[in-house]
Copies of this chain bind each other. A is one copy, B any other.
Amino acid sequence: MAIDHISSLFAKLQALSTSDHGSVVSMNIFVALLCACIVIGHLLEENRWMNESITALVIGICTGILILMLSGGRSSHILVFSEDLFFIYLLPPIIFNAGFQVKKKQFFVNFITIMMFGAIGTLISCAIITYGVAKTFKRIGIRSLEIADYLAIGAIFSATDSVCTLQVLNQDETPLLYSLVFGEGVVNDATSVVLFNAIQSFDINQINPSIGLHFFGNFLYLFTTSTLLGVFTGLLSAYIIKKLYIGRHSTNREFALMMLMAYLSYMMAELCYLSGILTVFFCGITMSHYTWHNVSESSRITTKHAFATLSFVAETFIFLYVGMDALDIDKWRFASDRPATSLAVSSVLLGLVLAGRAAFVFLLSFISNITRKSSKEGISFRQQVIIWWAGLMRGAVSMALAYNQFTLLGHTAKRANAIMITSTITVVLVSTVVFGLMTKPLIRFLLPVPSGLTPKRKNSTANIVDSASPKANTVPFLSNGADSEANLEPQESSYGRTPRSIRDLLSTPTHSVHRLWRKFDNSFMRPVFGGRGFVPIERGTPTERNTQNQWH
């Protein structure tokens, strides 16, 4: 039905020459396809292979083929891939929602490992890919690329796609893996920004030790400022809502303020050339810790679900978009003159992505395991394989970076650049479809009993958001009252003993930091910025319990 619809609409598109009405037509097609993706995604939900992103990708590719056929091979896309659309409108809600719904404790307990994966891991992967590309591309027959291009390719294909991760890993089934791979994807963004700036500003030919130091300093600066900006915006929103809205709650204003301030944090980071993804992620975390507890009950339900839905629609949109843009016929025509070269480039890139990720995942997991107390808490080999596999997907971020590096306003000047674009598309499609399709079965094969803390939702991925929400996050606290310092989750309670070995000494700081933070949070932060238990209204009322029963 949707296909018939599109073909008739496309006939209209051909008939109309005005660009104004043309954009209305493309909007119609896109919105109709989004609806189709949601309905089909729902129908395929119980399928053990598929997920929503692959559904959208496949629908996008089919539509692209249809349009290509209808237009007589002239054009395959309605909208040209636009970095702006992606980075300004689609990415912020996804990353903000991820921060808003992330299990904070799981994230901060694994903070050091995540930082290692995101920063050092990306560098290792980038180095391996750059080295591999520089060694092999000359032999394949691509000679017009320079060393800056090789470095860029390294950075492009080291970018783990956080959006894909959200689709294949379940926060409730595999909380450790989710927090590691997704956290890595977020930190990775800061590394990518630094890498890209480094490539542009440093003279590659003059390598000396100070560059490494400069690079490290830049990364630290970027990471710190981006995080602080996000936390600051989140706290500001909490403070404004707490100060202004006592006794006079308006869901409209609360929701609007949270949404706008989250977006503002992202845009301000972009304005200051910081990492918007890091900023908006930490803004989401701060808002779920403070702001979300300062608003009325209906605002909590609304924000929780509305942010999740906006993120869901943006994700579906991205995959649909990437699928439709995959048949960029001009570039394929360029590349199709030498199909063997294109195939070789894509294969080399896929192989390097696999190797680069394998190198750092297993190495850094080994280092991380040394610092952990018991083997039970460490990352098992099976988990390492999943971390390696689940982070292999390259998505819209890689596409956007590749378009940025290898095209000038959408036109590929050189043949090598066209081949790079088509290869990127190939790598994105193959990695998303093949690796994506196999992640769910792989997890079931390697971890037959869910390793997560809440296995009850094993088969209902539709309900992820319901439990992965700020509300679910606070449920353990509700039984113990407001200021329960001793209220640590089972996994963590073993930290309570005295240190016994070198591994204990290494793991203790995490716990101490956490305890100090709790003390500081309860004494200084919550009284000022609100948060659970520090908002006068609705405290101790039975609504909290009712809500949980009803809206769960």
| B-contact bits for A16-50, CB 8 A (1 contact / 0 none) | 00001101110110011011001101110100000
Q: Does residue A308 face the partner (Cβ distance < 8 Å to B)?
A: yes
The residue in chain B whose Cβ has the minimal distance to the Cβ of A16 is: B271
A263 proximity list for chain B (CB < 8 A): 31
CA distance A441 to B179 in the complex (A): 56
Q: Does residue A551 face the partner (Cβ distance < 8 Å to B)?
A: yes
Query: Contact check: which of B257, B264, B550 meets A39 at CB < 8 Å?
Result: B257
Contact A252 B312 (CB under 8 A): yes
The residue in chain B whose Cβ has the minimal distance to the Cβ of A237 is: B35
A313 proximity list for chain B (CB < 8 A): 256, 259-260
Residue from A250, A257, A263, A312 whose CB has the most chain B CB atoms within 10 Å: A250
Query: Contact check: which of B12, B21, B240, B256 meets A309 at CB < 8 Å?
Result: B256
| B-contact bits for A529-552, CB 8 A (1 contact / 0 none) | 000000000000001001100110
What's the minimum C-beta distance from A173 to chain B, rounded to whole angstroms?
Answer: 17
CA distance A203 to B261 in the complex (A): 52
Query: Contact check: which of B252, B264, B466 meets A32 at CB < 8 Å?
Result: B264
Contact A253 B305 (CB under 8 A): no
Helix, strand, loop or mixed for chain A's interface? Answer: helix
Contact B546 A38 (CB under 8 A): no
Contact B271 A25 (CB under 8 A): yes
CA distance A306 to B21 in the complex (A): 29
The residue in chain B whose Cβ has the minimal distance to the Cβ of A312 is: B252
A304 proximity list for chain B (CB < 8 A): 302
Contact B306 A463 (CB under 8 A): no
CA distance A270 to B248 in the complex (A): 40
Size of the A side of the interface (Cβ < 8 Å), in residues, is: 64
**Looking at the complex, which of A293-301, A357-365, A377-385 is the stretch in contact with chain B?**
A293-301
Q: Does residue A15 face the partner (Cβ distance < 8 Å to B)?
A: no
CA distance A267 to B12 in the complex (A): 14
Contact A251 B25 (CB under 8 A): no
Contact A244 B39 (CB under 8 A): yes
Q: Does residue A9 face the partner (Cβ distance < 8 Å to B)?
A: yes
Q: Does residue A140 face the partner (Cβ distance < 8 Å to B)?
A: no
| B-contact bits for A444-478, CB 8 A (1 contact / 0 none) | 00000000000000000011011000000000000
A88 proximity list for chain B (CB < 8 A): 23-24, 27
Q: Does residue A255 face the partner (Cβ distance < 8 Å to B)?
A: yes
What's the minimum C-beta distance from A464 to chain B, rounded to whole angstroms?
Answer: 9
Question: Would you list the 10 A-B pairs with minimal beta carbon distance, nearest first?
Answer: A302-B305, A250-B462, A298-B551, A306-B306, A255-B309, A251-B305, A31-B264, A252-B312, A28-B267, A252-B309
